Structure 1
Amino acid sequence: MTPSPAAEVDITLEVVRRLLADQHPDLADRPLSPLGEGWDNAMFRLGQHFLVRLPRRAVAADLVAHEHRWLPEIATLVDLPVPVPVRHGQPTAYFPWSWSITRWIEGRPAVDSPVGGRGRWAGRLAQFLAGLHQPAPSDAPISPFRGVPLAVRDEVTRERLARAGHPRTGELLQVWEQALRAPVYAEVPVWVHGDPHPLNMVVRRGNLAAVIDFGDLTAGDPASDLATAWQTFTWEGRAQFVVRYSQLAGPDEALWQRARGWAVLYSANSLALSDDSPEFTAIAEHTIAQVLDAPDARVGRRA
């Protein structure tokens, strides 16, 4: 297994303070504290009302540019807060990439909330994604990893399942192969979040408050996003999610077949690439149990 990739720049408090002083001096005297790092970004709390987000790898720099360009438009489609940048940071001699300041969204990641209680907002998330999944403009970003036909990801998914060595790999491959046989997406490409797992949702007082981290935003097959039905919920919550999404976007059995395949794909990614992250491992194990053991919320039978 492979740990999260190393940062390609050293992002310290001093670097962030210098960037603020040079480019946004009216915010530079506010308290600043590190919040942690993901695969792509380092995050800092700035005062009571802001979040500073800086790419830690070159590959993530383009994702920041996508958010700068497209999140103001995305915000008009959806009915929950999204992290629209309120200030844009520019590359400098001492920090090579664009960066962002967004408004602070109060709450905790959904991964910190009990899985069984998330059904309370399953329909809310379905409504958010149905609003997002609108035809994307011709110049929308295109990801080679999200929203693509499952066959494009076949070789790497099999390799990562083999590398992870999970005891239920054989069963997961059966589900994966079923999904590969589903009709491919042939409609107009729609906006796809690209990564709506429980670490990228904010919950406040037991309700869904925001969806964050649009770095993987792309145009493509919405099934890529709907894998969250298995990643995030129990089968009861998933049933509510499926019903609400289908009410808004229309019934489509092939869509849910592909989404179940994406749930396997994301599990393979997490198991093979994120062994240093207990949270991703827990999401993967939950997803696998939901895919293999829970009733199929679409038709009321076991998967």
Structure 2
Amino acid sequence: MSHSNSNLWDAEWEVSVEAAARLIGSQFPALASRPVQRLDHGWDNTVYRVGDEYVFRFPRREVAVASLRMEGQILPQLEAYIQIPYSKPLFHGEGDRDYPLPFLGYPYLPGAYPIGLTDEQRALSAGILAQFLKGLHAFPVEIARENGVQADHRNLADIAARIERMQGFLSKLTPHIEAQDRLAIAGYLDRLPTGRVRPCDVFLHGDLHFKNIVVDETGLVAGVIDWGDINIGHPACDLSIAYSYLPPHARPAFFQTYGPADEETRRLARLIAVYIPMLIWMQAIEDRADAIAEEARSNILRALAD
């Protein structure tokens, strides 16, 4: 049911497991006998696992509907550009009177979040991540625009505005974090040049961080999930993964495979590699999700390391 919301992440529409099972079973009879269980929810979607093979995403907020429809159109077209398993929509569902929004079903990508990996394990994925982004960023921007993909509304390339927001995050984090971590982040922000970055448009995943990656039992990257923030913008937004995920000694191999990135791009990529985990860290502290909070912290410290 719809209700008024107070937090950014509050739901306007909740989908119970019974409602999800009914919608899936009535529209996709081949799945009707599969067990349905709730997996997780983000700000925009509630996720259900269906049997062993599929996951379905149901929007929780009206604002998520346009991006879900866009995913349904564009993600199948990425197959020619990227080799890595990803959330390719297979089932396109429509809502009913009780739940009036569309929903999508995807193959279930097995694996775990990359939490607590060693630097050696992380370094082994440098080539996989670089090859993935090289292919993704080669997807034609014109085709993305024709399918309704928008420019990056977050304006991530405005470094001065980003620093100001991050200083606000830091003051919220201060009561909860070690003084040395606070000083490391504050010192980094103080030293950053604030000039605007030259615009450069590529097709982006848009939210590439550890909670949107799955790894196999050896720690190798095995899939990329949650494409709800696809947009057209600066490649640094996705290249941030080279700083948040990879230890410093693995970055040269990453850029050797991906291709050269100028100093400005690298600077912005590092900044976003601190920015996104700060958001995750704040929410994890509020949710008392200690393992996620610690992983976000280690992502930031890795991004700050040379």
TM-score relative to the length of structure 1: 0.84
Query: Residue 269 of structure 2 corresponds to which residue in structure 1?
Result: 259
DSSP-derived class of the 1:35 partner: strand
Equivalent position of 1:186 in the other structure:
199
Tell me the SS of whatever aligns to 1:156.
helix
1:164 to 162, 173, 184: 173
Deviation of residue 182 (structure 1)? 5.5
Distance 2:126 2:194 in 1: 28
Q: Take 2:27 and 2:301, find their aligned partners in 1: how far apart are those partners?
A: 48
Cα 1:40–1:72, aligned 2, differ >3 Å: closer, same or farther? Answer: same
**What is the CA-CA distance between 1:217 and the residue it aligns to?**
0.6
- Provide, for residues 214-236 of structure 1, a one-character-per-residue CA deviation record: whole Å limited to 9, x for no partner: 11111000111122123222223
Looking at structure 2, the residues matched to 201 and 36 of structure 1 have their Cα atoms a distance apart, in angstroms, of 15
Q: Which residue of structure 1 aligns with residue 98 of structure 2?
A: 94
Q: Deviations over 1:215-262 (max 9, x none)?
A: 1111000111122123222223334323332xxx32412111111111
Work out the number of aligned pairs and report it.
Answer: 289
| Alignment partner of 1:198 is 2:198 | no
Counterparts in 2 of 1:201-280, with a 5 A limit? 201-206=213-218, 207-245=220-258, 249-275=259-285, 276=287, 277-280=289-292
State the shift of 1:84 in Å. Answer: 1.2
Map of 1:26 onto structure 2: 30
Task: Check conservation: 1:119, 1:240, Cα contact below 8 A.
Answer: no
Partner of 2:15: 11
User: Which one is further off, 92-101 or 111-120?
Assistant: 111-120
Residue 110 of structure 1 aligns to a residue in which SS? coil
Q: What amino acid sits opposite 1:43 in the alignment?
A: V
Is the 2:245–2:302 contact (alpha carbons within 8 Å) kept by the matching residues of 1?
A: no
Q: Which residue in the other structure is 2:3 paired with?
A: none
What are the ranges of 5 or more consecutive residues in structure 1 without an aligned counterpart?
297-303
Asked if structure 1 preserves the Cα contact closer than 8 Å seen for 2:46 and 2:57, the reply is yes
Could you tell me which amino acid in structure 2 is paired with residue 15 of structure 1?
Answer: A
Counting aligned pairs with the same residue, the percent is 29
Shift of 1:15: 0.7
Q: Which amino acid aligns with 2:216?
A: R
The Cα shift of 1:193 comes to 0.9
Alignment match, 1:121: 125
Change (3 A) 1:109 1:191: same
2:188 is aligned with 1:175: yes
Shift of 1:3: 8.5
> Residue 111 of structure 2 contacts residue 216 of structure 2 at CA under 8 Å; is this kept in 1?
yes
Q: Is the 8 A contact 2:159 2:195 kept in 1?
A: no
**What root-mean-square deviation, in Å, do the aligned CA atoms of Structure 1 and Structure 2 show?**
2.5
Q: Given residue 280 of structure 2, which amino acid in structure 1 is its aligned partner?
A: S
Instruction: Give the corresponding residue for 1:132.
Output: 136
Q: What is the match of residue 61 of structure 1?
A: 65
Q: In structure 1, what is the Cα distance between the partners aligned to 2:132 and 2:222?
A: 11
Which amino acid is the alignment partner of residue 216 of structure 1? D
6-15 or 133-142: bigger deviation? 133-142
Contact 1:231 1:283 in 2 (8 A): no
- Return closer, same or farther for 1:36/1:273 CA change in 2, 3 Å cut-off: closer
Deviation for aligned residue 1:211: 1.0
Runs of 4+ in 1 over 6 A off after TM superposition: none
Report the counterpart of residue 281 of structure 1 in structure 2.
293
1:70-107 deviation per Cα after TM superposition (whole angstroms, max 9, x unaligned)? 21222322121221110111132111322111112222
Q: Which whole-Å CA distance do the structure 1 matches of 2:7 and 2:251 have between them?
A: 31
1:89-126 Cα deviation digits (max 9, x unpaired): 11321113221111122222223644541211111101
The aligned residue for residue 87 of structure 2 is: 83
Q: Provide structure 2 residue ranges, at least 5 long, that are not aligned to the other structure.
A: 1-5
Structure 1 pair 14–146 and aligned structure 2 pair: CA distance change class (3 A)? farther
Q: Which residue of 2 aligns with 1:301?
A: none
TM-score in terms of structure 2 length: 0.84
d(CA) in 2 for partners of 1:133 and 1:175? Answer: 28
Q: Distance in 2 between matches of 1:3 and 1:154?
A: 23
